[in-house]
């Protein structure tokens, strides 16, 4: 009788949970020595999802115990790990961290630091000896790291020595040792805000410029890996001046069909309105199937301007939109919005919730939304509540389907069952793939076991008798570099 009651209770909870798309994942509750409610302006600007399943969280955080913390490492469930040196001396936030091959590149305080896997700087990397960094850098810096650790870098730079008047460069390339690549001669005549990988051979640049080298381009262009411009891509943007809100063009997301979501503050040809999100065709023309003209109104509300900061694809083909958003397509929202695949608001979600704060309502925003393993999403920014519940400034929310191992979910390559398991675990592979490798990690990020998976293998049985009871992460690394992750529980 007791077992029947437990089973019925489990089914009831499961059914109820599936009726709550984008509900808060309460198993994730990040702990950091600097996340305390006293400081309402704590903000998380990004997260690096490491191969081991651990999370490197960065931004600007403070508490009574630690005046400044700009980065820290958590396990998958938010427990603080002491394997990362969180800086407690600098008041500057870390704006971006990108990593490759266990090497981290962090942008903070007008400088890029090369860090090892424990967060300590590599003093042999001399990236700031060749140049004077940004001139009171009022614009964002972005960078892309090549497999050989060369780097494309944006910003505003002047060099010593320089003859006569100041000469700035807004786009350059560094060698793997951090020194300026003098063979890279390409540049723009204005700021580049965003570098977005378009495919394996091309990048999109977005910013506020009218020339790339000598080619007229108007704020966005596409280049190859050597820096040569793609003249088949044509910009529809119009240059204009607005001292209060300067134009901003950010190619934020590239769809599988090559279409491009652009966010920012901008104007386009044959349209007098200021827009904040549009979709372009692969050749740069406007995609008329997308809702380009009725997104976030270009107005100030509650002491701040409505704006879009981030776009994330959802498992149903739509988008999650985050930023400073009080109104979206005429509907009241709290800084997070769900749309369909063509940009029209889905009114079934976030109509009665979102992120908010009881303090500092003018400094409240979603900075980034990123996909998490199993169809979930990380939402981060400057906020203290999600749907009325007190939360830290980074949360994990469930997907529309609310399931980690759902066979019908697009992009899921495998599932693990039974879960929890006691003696063995079966991995079932659900989609065609190339060669792959299965990696098992514990929540401390330690690699426990690896198995090679050939394309014709549809099922793999793993003995977990030697595993200690607890939570583990299974990760599939495909030959093309794509990954898929799920979690499982070992019980006794």
Residue 78: give its domain's CATH number: 2.130.10.10
pLDDT at residue 244, as a whole number: 59
Does any domain span residue 422? yes
- Give dist(CA 345, CA 72) in Å, integer: 35
pLDDT at residue 473, as a whole number: 81
Residues in the chain: 492
pLDDT at residue 3, as a whole number: 45
Does any domain span residue 403? no
434 has pLDDT over 90? no
pLDDT at residue 184, as a whole number: 92
Together in a domain, 307 and 378: yes
Q: Which residue has the higher pLDDT, 72 or 7?
A: 72
Of the ranges 16-25, 64-73, 247-256, which one carries the lowest mean pLDDT score? 16-25
Together in a domain, 162 and 72: yes
Maximum average pLDDT range among 41-55, 132-146, 247-261, 390-404 = 247-261
Handedness of CA 86, 92, 93, 96 (dihedral sign): negative
Mean pLDDT throughout 115-126? 85
- CATH number of the domain that residue 477 is part of: 2.60.40.3080
Does any domain span residue 402? no
The contacts of residue 466 (CB under 8 Å, 6+ apart) are: none
Together in a domain, 364 and 440: no
Does any domain span residue 203? yes
Together in a domain, 52 and 90: yes
Which one of 362, 397, 432 terminates a domain? 397
Q: Which residue has the higher pLDDT, 329 or 261?
A: 261
Tokens of 305: 């301007």
Together in a domain, 168 and 213: yes
Does any domain span residue 281? yes
Full-model pTM: 0.78
φ/ψ of residue 23, rounded to 5: -70, 160
Together in a domain, 103 and 136: yes
Does any domain span residue 16? no
What confidence category does residue 139 fall into, taking pLDDT thresholds of 50, 70 and 90? low
224 has pLDDT over 90? yes
Q: What proportion of the chain, given as a percentage, has pLDDT over 90?
A: 33
Does any domain span residue 1? no
The contacts of residue 484 (CB under 8 Å, 6+ apart) are: 373, 411, 412, 413, 414, 475, 476, 478
Q: What is the pLDDT of residues 264-275, one digit of tens each?
A: 989 999 888 888
Which one of 397, 426, 444 terminates a domain? 397
- Output the average pLDDT for the chain: 80
Together in a domain, 285 and 326: yes
Together in a domain, 382 and 422: no
Together in a domain, 420 and 351: no
The tally of domains found in the chain comes to 2
| Residue 128 belongs to domain spanning | 22-397
- Give dist(CA 304, CA 64) in Å, integer: 29
Together in a domain, 478 and 355: no
What confidence category does residue 6 fall into, taking pLDDT thresholds of 50, 70 and 90? very low
pLDDT at residue 162, as a whole number: 47
Q: What is the pLDDT of residues 268-302, one digit of tens each?
A: 998 888 889 999 999 999 999 999 987 776 665 55
Together in a domain, 310 and 268: yes
Does any domain span residue 327? yes
- Give dist(CA 412, CA 484) in Å, integer: 7
Question: Long-range contacts of range 359-365, CB-CB < 8 Å, 24 or more positions apart?
Answer: 359/40, 359/384, 360/40, 360/41, 361/302, 361/303, 362/302, 362/303, 362/304, 363/41, 364/304, 364/324, 364/335, 365/309, 365/322, 365/323, 365/324, 365/335
């Amino acid at each position: 009788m007791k077992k029947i009651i437990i089973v019925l209770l489990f089914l009831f909870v499961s059914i109820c949970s599936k009726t709550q798309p984008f509900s808060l994942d309460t198993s994730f509750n990040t702990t950091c020595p600097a996340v305390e409610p006293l400081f309402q302006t704590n903000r998380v600007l990004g997260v690096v999802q490491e191969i081991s399943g651990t999370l490197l969280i960065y931004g600007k955080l403070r508490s009574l115990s630690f005046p400044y913390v700009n980065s820290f490492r958590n396990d998958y469930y938010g427990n603080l790990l002491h394997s990362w040196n969180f800086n407690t001396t600098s008041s500057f936030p870390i704006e971006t961290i990108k990593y490759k091959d266990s090497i981290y590149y962090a942008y903070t305080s007008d400088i890029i630091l090369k860090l090892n896997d424990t967060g300590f700087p590599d003093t042999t990397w001399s990236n700031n000896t060749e140049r004077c960094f940004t001139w009171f850098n009022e614009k964002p810096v972005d960078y892309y790291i090549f497999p050989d650790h060369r780097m494309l870098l944006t910003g505003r730079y002047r060099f010593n020595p320089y003859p006569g008047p100041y000469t700035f460069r807004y786009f350059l390339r560094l060698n793997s040792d951090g020194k300026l690549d003098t063979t890279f001669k390409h540049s723009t005549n204005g700021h580049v805000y965003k570098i977005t990988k378009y495919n394996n051979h091309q990048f999109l640049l977005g910013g506020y410029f009218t020339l790339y080298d000598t080619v007229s381009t108007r704020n966005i262009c596409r280049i190859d890996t050597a820096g040569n411009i793609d003249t088949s891509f044509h910009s529809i943007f119009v240059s204009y001046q607005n001292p209060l809100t300067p134009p901003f063009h950010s190619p934020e997301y590239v769809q599988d069909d090559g279409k491009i979501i652009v966010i920012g503050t901008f104007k386009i040809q044959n349209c007098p309105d200021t827009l904040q999100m549009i979709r372009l065709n692969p050749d740069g023309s406007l995609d008329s199937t997308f809702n380009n003209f009725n997104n976030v109104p270009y107005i100030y509300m509650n002491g701040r301007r409505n704006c879009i900061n981030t776009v994330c694809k959802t498992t149903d083909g739509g988008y999650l939109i985050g930023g400073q958003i009080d109104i979206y397509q005429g509907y009241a929202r709290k800084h997070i919005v769900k749309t369909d695949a063509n940009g029209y608001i889905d009114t079934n979600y976030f109509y009665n919730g979102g992120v908010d704060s009881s303090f500092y309502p003018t400094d409240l925003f979603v900075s980034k939304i990123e996909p998490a393993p199993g169809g979930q999403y990380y939402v981060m920014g400057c906020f203290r509540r999600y749907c009325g519940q007190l939360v830290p400034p980074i949360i994990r929310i469930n997907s529309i389907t609310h399931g980690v191992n759902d066979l019908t979910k697009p992009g899921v390559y495998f599932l693990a069952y039974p879960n929890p398991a006691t003696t063995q675990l079966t991995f079932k592979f659900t989609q065609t793939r190339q060669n792959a490798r299965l990696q098992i990690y514990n929540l401390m990020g330690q690699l426990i076991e690896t198995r090679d998976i050939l394309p014709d293998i549809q099922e793999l049985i793993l003995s977990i008798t030697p595993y200690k009871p607890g939570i583990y992460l299974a990760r599939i690394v495909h030959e093309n570099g794509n990954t898929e992750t799920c979690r499982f529980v070992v019980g006794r």
